[in-house]
Structures are given as C-alpha cells and as structure tokens.
Structure 1
Amino acid sequence: MKTNVVAVINQKGGTGKTTTTINLGSALSKLGKKVLLLDLDPQSNLSYSLAVANPEATLADVFQGDKKLADILVEKDGLWIAPGSNELVDIEISLVTQPEREKFLKNIIAQMKGFDFVFIDCPPSLSVLTLNALTAAQEVLIPLQMEVLTLQGLDQIMNTVEKVQKTFNPKLKIKGIVVVMFDVRRKLSQEVLEYLHENVKHKVFKSQVRMNVKLAEAPSFGKSVLDYDASSNGARDYTALAAEYLQG
C-alpha cells in the first residue's frame, strides 16, 4: 500500500487549515480509507478539536527520539491522530542547529505502514516544522479564503513550495487549492475566485466549503463535522471534496 503524505499549509492563522485537515480526513475515512492526522502545529488546535487534550505522548516526544510514531497514536471516530503540543516550539528551536534538519519528519513517517493518507496540519508560518512537512510530503493542499490579502500569502506559499522542490523534495507537487469559508452572497468572494481561475496555474477544487455554523460548532464537541452533523452543509461539502480528491 502506497501512503500518500499531504502537507496542509497556509502561513496565516484562521484560514480553515485545521478544519480542512480534520474534515477531509474524516470524509476520506468514511469512504473506506485509513487516515492518519499529524498535528504539527504547536498550538495543537487539531488535537483539541478532536478531544485529544491530554495525550500521554505527542509528536514532540517522537522528534526527541523518546517514542516511536506508532506509540503516540490515538484513534478517534475512525481517524488516527498523532497529537501535537506546545513543546513543538522547543523542538523547532533545537532543529535549527541539527544536520539535515528538514528530514526529521520524513524519517518519522517512514516508520508507519498501512495508511492510505497522512495529512500534516502545519503551523501557520513558513517555519522549520513546515519545511519538515514539505520535505516529507508528496502533495501540498492549500485551504484559501476568498479575501484579497490571502492572494498575497498564496504567492509566498507557491514560492516556498518551489524552493523545497528544487532543494529537498523534487517529487513534491501542489495537489490544489481548497476554497473555504465561501460566502456566495459576497461579491468579493466571487471576484477572488474568478481571479484564482484566471491567474493561478494550479488546480482549484470545484468542491467549495461554504460558511457553515456546524463547522464552527463541531470542535466544541470533539468531533469532525461529519460525526457532529452529517446532514450539514459542512459535512456535505467535505464529503464532495473527498470524492473529488480521490479522482485525482
């Protein structure tokens, strides 16, 4: 079984990165795929959103060599989670001085077999941890709000991916852009979407994730939106995205 490792990145916070990691992962799981979510963000929003608040061990322990990745995994609603913690801040600082610092996560993930997908929820910055994710991944997924300022950030992401391709990971490719928090009533949303289609060479997924209160509520219950309210627009949108993702 070939494992598809996907880095979910956006250097801005609050862009739907963690929401997309959780709910796309959940939707793929419900389509029969075995999915592992790595919480590489020191803020640990993914872990908290799935009620993995006080794990016995986290990715920080794996980076330090105290644990194997398999030792820290938590199973929740058909998903496997490698929890994060704020100790990843210290890991990031220590990585700066390490030889081949960009390959730590790639070597960690290589320990795991049997997963169809590994989704890495990256920090909201283009940091050493994010560099590790991009070096370990085959694909990059970019959740994007339809705001003018996000287009500037998109250029930065594209440039970073290009540098990683040239330097560390020539097989890395951008899978596509996921339009999130889409408000059909806003003219700006439509204008930014049109700009993307006209000016960005990479795929923009047809399955858009609409503004949806259930998506915002689900983390309070420690669930993906598909487990919280399967009939909601949020659940439908991520299910459609998962189907489109599998089509290639």
Structure 2
Amino acid sequence: MATTTVAVINQKGGTGKTTTTINLGSALCKLGKRVLLIDLDPQANLSYSLAVTEPKATLADAFLGNNTLQDVLLERDGLWVAPGSNELVDIEISLVAQPERENFLKNMLQDVKGFDYILIDCPPSLSVLTLNALTAATEVLIPLQMEVLTLQGLDQITNTVQKVKKAFNPKLKIKGIVVVMFDVRRKLSQEVLEYLQENVKEPIFKQSIRLNVKLAEAPSFGRSVLDYDPSSNGARDYKALAEEFISR
C-alpha cells in the first residue's frame, strides 16, 4: 500500500483539528495501519496531548537540517509522532525568503518509509507551514463545527486548496469534511449540517463526531480517547470515522 499523506486543516483555532488528527490516527492504528502524525503547529498541542513534552529533537530541527525527519520520530501507544515546538514560528519566518519554500516538508517526507498514513496537523492559519503541508499531501481533511461562521471559512480553505493544486500539487484533493463537536441537542447544528449537505460540493463524511467530555479529558492524560476510554462516544465515533475513511 502506498503512503497516503493527509493535511488536516482549518484556519481557525479550537475547531477540533488536533483532536481529529490524534484520534483518527489512533483509530487507524488500531485497525492495523501504521500511522505517523506530523505536528506542524507551533503551539505543539498535538505533541503535548500525547505527552511529548521534552523531546530531544523536533520538527524544527528537521527543517533546519540538524536532524533528519526519521531521527526526530517518537512512538506513543503505537502511533509515531514528529513533535512540534514554538521554534516553528522562526522556521516559518525564515521559509518566506527561501526558494521553493513550499517543498521543504515534502522533501523531508521522502526519507520516511513504511507508513500507511501520514496525518499532518496544520497551524490554525493558511500560512507558509500550511502551504508546505498542502504541497506534501495527497489529500485534505477539513474538521468543521456546525456554526454559521464556519461556512465562510470553508470557502477560504477550498479556494486555497484549489490554488495549491494548480500551482504546486496537481495530485491534491479534498478527502472530505468531518463534522466535529456535533451537539445533537442544538437545532442550529442540524440546520447548518443540512445546509452543508445541500450546498457544498465537497464530500461530507457520514460519521460525525459528537460532543464528548472524554475527548476533552484525554489530552490531560497524554493519550488518544481510544486509549483513554475506548467505550466512550468519542472513541466509538472516531473508530467509525476511520473505517469510513479507509473505505473511501
């Protein structure tokens, strides 16, 4: 099986992007897939959420050429992680002036072998680092809350993907939209979902991710929700999402 590289993006913070990267990755791992998570966000929330707090080397070191990407990888509960750090802020600033600045991550990933899926947790902005993720990826996954303002942001994301596809990465495609933090008690959530289904051409995964307290608790214990509480709604939702993800 060839490696599928997926950029998980949303230009807003707090949209379930990191949660989806970790837990979809964990669910894929438990389905027998070998999974690498790339923490491309300078806030390094993915790394913290998997108890990677003081790594010897990070993704920033790989960008600088101090280490290969393979050198910085760590294993957590069967997942492999390329840790992020706030030094990625400086990396992003330095990349702006570099020739072919969009290809750094793609070139680094060429040395990493043996994974079925690579999931890239992108920064909460459409930045040079995000451009690197989109150039390296074959697919894009968009976690989306069912709020009115997210619809406006979705247009910006899809336009950016199309521009990157045209300019740098003709293989790039949108895998789909994942509905996250879905509150079945709110009428607005259902209304926004129905609007999306009727008006958005991008595919929407049938499996949504319900609001679930265990999803919020799991990072405090440095684990995915599937390892923290496998019987929770959050774990069940992400396992079902992973099965649908593979079937597509």
TM band (smaller chain): over 0.9
1:71 alignment partner in structure 2: 71
Is 1:210 matched with 2:184? no
1:247 alignment partner in structure 2: 247
Q: 2-side partners of 1:150 and 1:216: how far apart?
A: 21
Letter in 2 for 1:237: D
Any idea what SS the aligned residue of 2:43 has? coil
Q: 2-side partners of 1:49 and 1:206: how far apart?
A: 26
Any idea what SS the aligned residue of 2:111 has? coil
**For 1:162-220, what per-residue CA distance to the aligned partner results, in whole angstroms no more than 9, with x for missing partners?**
10011000110000000000001101000100011011111100001000000000000
Letter in 2 for 1:231: S
Q: How does 1:164-243 map to 2 (within 5 A)?
A: 164-243=164-243
Q: In structure 1, list runs of 5 or more residues that go unmatched.
A: none
2:30 alignment partner in structure 1: 30
2:58 alignment partner in structure 1: 58
Letter in 1 for 2:31: L
Any idea what SS the aligned residue of 1:142 has? strand
TM-score norm. by structure 2 comes to: 1.00
Q: 2-side partners of 1:112 and 1:126: how far apart?
A: 25
Q: 2-side partners of 1:207 and 1:79: how far apart?
A: 23
**For 1:98-135, what per-residue CA distance to the aligned partner results, in whole angstroms no more than 9, with x for missing partners?**
00000000001111110000000000000000000000
Residue 77 of structure 1, CA deviation: 0.3
Is 1:135 matched with 2:135? yes
Q: 2-side partners of 1:97 and 1:70: how far apart?
A: 26
**For 1:26-45, what per-residue CA distance to the aligned partner results, in whole angstroms no more than 9, with x for missing partners?**
00000000000000000000
**Identical positions, percent:** 79
Q: 2-side partners of 1:96 and 1:139: how far apart?
A: 24
Q: 1-side partners of 2:152 and 2:54: how far apart?
A: 37
TM-score norm. by structure 1 comes to: 1.00
Letter in 2 for 1:113: K
Q: In structure 2, list runs of 5 or more residues that go unmatched.
A: none
Any idea what SS the aligned residue of 1:176 has? strand
1:125 alignment partner in structure 2: 125
Q: 2-side partners of 1:69 and 1:63: how far apart?
A: 8
Letter in 2 for 1:155: D
Q: How does 1:146-161 map to 2 (within 5 A)?
A: 146-161=146-161
Q: 2-side partners of 1:166 and 1:186: how far apart?
A: 39
Is 1:17 matched with 2:17? yes
- RMSD of aligned residue pairs (Cα, Å): 0.4
Q: 2-side partners of 1:228 and 1:139: how far apart?
A: 28
